[in-house]
Amino acid sequence: MSIKEAEVLKFLHAQPQWLYEHAAEFNLRPIESKILSFQQGKMQVMQQKTEKMASQLIQMLGDANANHTLMAKFMAFTQRLLIVNTLAQWQRAISDGLNNEFTLPYHALIITADIPKNVRVPVNLHVNEKFKVISKKLTSPVCGALPVAALLELLPEQPRLESFLQLPLRWKEQTLAILVIGHEDEAHFSPDMSTEWVAAIADNMAAVLARLLKLVR
């Protein structure tokens, strides 16, 4: 059976999909049209956008879970403070909260405000003049590699601590106490970290301390 070239071309023009369907039999690789390539390009862009949106959604969900966990820790820490009636209980609530809620065992707390004569104070919270000087300069949370030398002396010598948080507990523009926290990871308290939540916790600790020092009328 003889088929002329013109008849083959006529058939292929009439049935162009046939060549795509049987290309493998003739070891052929059909050339895609510009329209098909454009469509594929649009599909690729859409796929990239979908993947980016999926990645952003995963990040948002991760942030939401992290914020939920942080809020739970924040509430648990605050609840400890709500039930204290003495400075010893206040000190213990802060220490237990840092240990249990935030896994920060290396910390020290010192009161820098004047303490009324009728208020009992744990020995290791007693006012020290050099800390009063420090408290006047420390008015907001400070994170970094090295705290004020006097504050560093309050922390345990071992293990080696690499980053620190210096946290003033302020009430009505007065620093009532200073909390210093050390960590073995040098990046844990980085200078550029957000201190919004830290400041909120400090406000709660200061409010309770103000009540115990009879500064709240």
With vertex at residue 184, the alpha carbon angle to CA 88 and CA 124, rounded to the nearest 5 degrees, is 20
Our measurement of the distance from residue 104's CA atom to the centroid of its chain's CA atoms, rounded to an integer in Å, reads 15
Note whether 212 and 176 are within 8 A (CB).
no
Least confident of 50-54, 61-65, 114-118, 200-204: 61-65
Which residues, 6+ apart, have CB-to-CB distance to 214 below 8 Å? 116, 119
Note whether 169 and 114 are within 8 A (CB).
no
* CATH class for the region spanning 83-212: alpha beta
For residue 177, pLDDT over 90 is answered with yes
Delimit the domains of the chain by residue range: 83-212
Look at residue 80 in the predicted model and tell me its pLDDT.
94
Which residues, 6+ apart, have CB-to-CB distance to 209 below 8 Å? 87, 90, 111, 113, 169, 171, 176, 177
Q: How confident is the model at residue 42 (pLDDT cuts 50, 70, 90)?
A: low
Mean pLDDT for all residues in the chain = 83
Look at residue 204 in the predicted model and tell me its pLDDT.
94
What predicted TM-score, i.e. pTM, was given to this entire model? 0.70
